[in-house]
Structure 1
Amino acid sequence: MIIGIIGALAVFALLLAIYFWLQMKAAQRQTSEVLEKYVGSTTEIGWSDRLVERLDQYEWAKNLEPQLKRASIQLRPAEYAAVLTITGFGLMFLLNMGMGAPLSVSVTIPLIAIPIASKMLISSRKFLYAQKIDGQLSEACRLMSSTARAGLSIPQGLELVVKEMDGPIQEELGIVVRELRLGKSLEVSLRDMLKRVETKDLHVFINALIIQRRAGGDLASVLGEMASTMEERKIIHKTIDATIAQARYSAYLMPLISIFIVMIMSQMVDNFFDFFSSTFGMIVLAVFVFLQIIGFILIRKIADIKV
């Protein structure tokens, strides 16, 4: 039991060190960008940065980069892959050395768990990114409504929103504004934005702009009423989130509690993990993991109340 605890603390300390190292590298990159922009000089690029830049040129990294950006994960693809790899090795070390699991089990569990955990992390972060945009839409509608009353066009109103606001909505609408300056049509740019970040509120906002562009109408009044409606929806969402918070936390705690019970049993029963090296044991392990995933999904579905 003591060895398992020491191993868990060692893995946690390693992950914590990696986290702070990545934070330091991100701060160094930001400093370098500021120096290059205002001073015209940059700090010397280290071997690790050169290695990361080289790895980021591969196809898998280019496909992963937009996913990380949409998930608001401030890591480059190579850095994210390194974190997953080190986490996998840490989990393998904990299972094999700390808990005495066979090598086959210690290798199989990280190979299955790490990709699933990565996908769940990116998906959950994308949801948070979309939530942030929904939270800013009411203010964007008010600004667009004011510009419409002042006689400005929709592209001019979007430029004002980009100048006055920050956060994810500034980034997404900034892409639309740049595309409009390059000659892309407003409707195509807005629909491309909806493909990148698809939410109900954003869908209503973009459709209102497209319909007004095609048929005309009192855009200022429509956007003003839309802003009020979105504010009311935001209040309802917060109330619901507070009500179902316990169910959502249960979905995340359930697999953690199961893993903790397995750790306890491995210390209480001699050669506990030898059972999972047999064919029947592997089937039991697969069923256990499958039921954990099903339970997690069911609890999330029950707690996912649509408004």
Structure 2
Amino acid sequence: MQLLTVSILYSLAVLLLIWGLYFLLGYRNQKREWKQKVNEWYPEQKRKSSLSVLGDRFDKSEASQPLALKLQGSNIALLPSEYIGVHILGALVLFVLLFNIFKLPGNITIILIPVILFVSHYLLFYLRKNKYEERFNSQLADICRLLGNGARSGLTINQGIEMVAREVGAPAGDEFKRIANELKLGVPLETALRSMQKRNKSREFQLFIATILIQKKTGGNLAATLESMSNTLEDRKILNQTIKTMTSEQRYISIIVPAMPIFIVLMMNNIIEGFTDSLKTVPGMIILALFLSGIVLSFFLIRKITNIKV
């Protein structure tokens, strides 16, 4: 009798061990699948150049976040550390150009390099201001058309967002992929849309989000509303493109006119030895200050005139 009891207990222990190993392996497989899905939904941003580990730490620090937001808003596909690396490389190139080719004195070269880099940094973000929002808004008409067709064919808003994430390219496609992944994880639709609304504060996108949320709460013909919005956004897109085409010459002139006199002065200094020596005197400095002020003023005036908002 005791032998039978021991055999039964031994068999139960073996069965429980096998059963526990089975569930452990199932849990490990399920965990591995979830990791793969999370990596697909939220892929890590790969570096585009061989920067050092110090650059990786800087990109993840809070000090780099304002610069990262500026780069994203300007639609520049660079990490903050890569952008700083470009400036360091630019400083070396400017030193070679100004000191060896244009024959400027060393002290003037050292002063000019940070000034040129600061001005180029400011002009870059000024000229490319809201480029990310502009590219995103240029895709809104197609997004409204896709969502409207999906609603007309019986798809829900969540399914329509997944369809947009598959069909539309960057940058709108990436944002809608992020929303689709958040919805799969159980985030409410309004919360996901509000988070994207904070990243794009343009008037067109605010209207788009408000339309979807109001239609979801009150009901109504979502397909007809989105189709009407798509036609309106398409007309605005055509009008904006027409204005850009008509003012393209003036916008290029605003860049060429300030650059030409500076290039000519540097070339003359390379050809005629001591051509810029008169700028070291007090009258020369006054004339140089007036000259630079006129260049800056002409640039901003031309850009202001050609900046027509619809």
TM-score class normalised by the smaller sequence: 0.7 to 0.9
Aligned-pair CA distance for 1:250: 0.5
| One-letter amino acid of the structure 2 residue matched with residue 298 of structure 1 | L
| One-letter amino acid of the structure 1 residue matched with residue 307 of structure 2 | D
Cα deviation code 1:96-118 (max 9, x no counterpart): 33223233321222212212312
Cα deviation code 1:161-204 (max 9, x no counterpart): 11222211011222333344445443443343233233332222
CA contact (8 A) 2:140 2:233 kept: yes
2:256 is the alignment partner of 1:253: yes
Aligned to 1:65: 68
Aligned to 2:10: none
Percent of pairs identical after alignment?
Answer: 34
Change (3 A) 1:291 1:187: farther
Aligned to 1:113: 116
2:232 corresponds to which of 210, 229, 233? 229
| One-letter amino acid of the structure 2 residue matched with residue 304 of structure 1 | N
2:183 is the alignment partner of 1:147: no
2:141 is the alignment partner of 1:138: yes
CA contact (8 A) 1:70 1:126 kept: yes
Q: Output the TM-score relative to the length of structure 1.
A: 0.74
Matched residue count: 264
Change (3 A) 1:70 1:152: same
1:239 corresponds to which of 224, 242, 254? 242
Aligned to 2:301: 298
Aligned to 2:44: none
Higher relative contact order (CA 8 A, sep 6+): 1
Q: Which moved more, 1:154-163 or 1:188-197?
A: 188-197
2:86 is the alignment partner of 1:91: no
Aligned to 1:288: 291
2:193 corresponds to which of 186, 190, 193? 190
Change (3 A) 1:206 1:290: farther
| One-letter amino acid of the structure 2 residue matched with residue 133 of structure 1 | F
Q: Which moved more, 1:270-279 or 1:95-104?
A: 270-279
CA contact (8 A) 1:247 1:303 kept: yes
CA contact (8 A) 1:91 1:110 kept: yes
Aligned-pair CA distance for 1:220: 1.0
CA contact (8 A) 1:146 1:220 kept: yes
Aligned-pair CA distance for 1:59: 3.7
Distance in 1 of aligned mates of 2:53 and 2:198: 33
Cα deviation code 1:195-222 (max 9, x no counterpart): 3233332222122112223333221111
2:157 is the alignment partner of 1:158: no
Distance in 2 of aligned mates of 1:156 and 1:263: 60
Q: Which moved more, 1:294-303 or 1:93-102?
A: 93-102
Aligned to 1:41: none
2:219 is the alignment partner of 1:216: yes
Change (3 A) 1:174 1:124: farther
CA contact (8 A) 1:93 1:106 kept: no
Change (3 A) 1:109 1:187: farther
The structure with the largest alpha-carbon Rg is 2
SS in 2 for 1:213: helix
CA contact (8 A) 1:101 1:274 kept: no
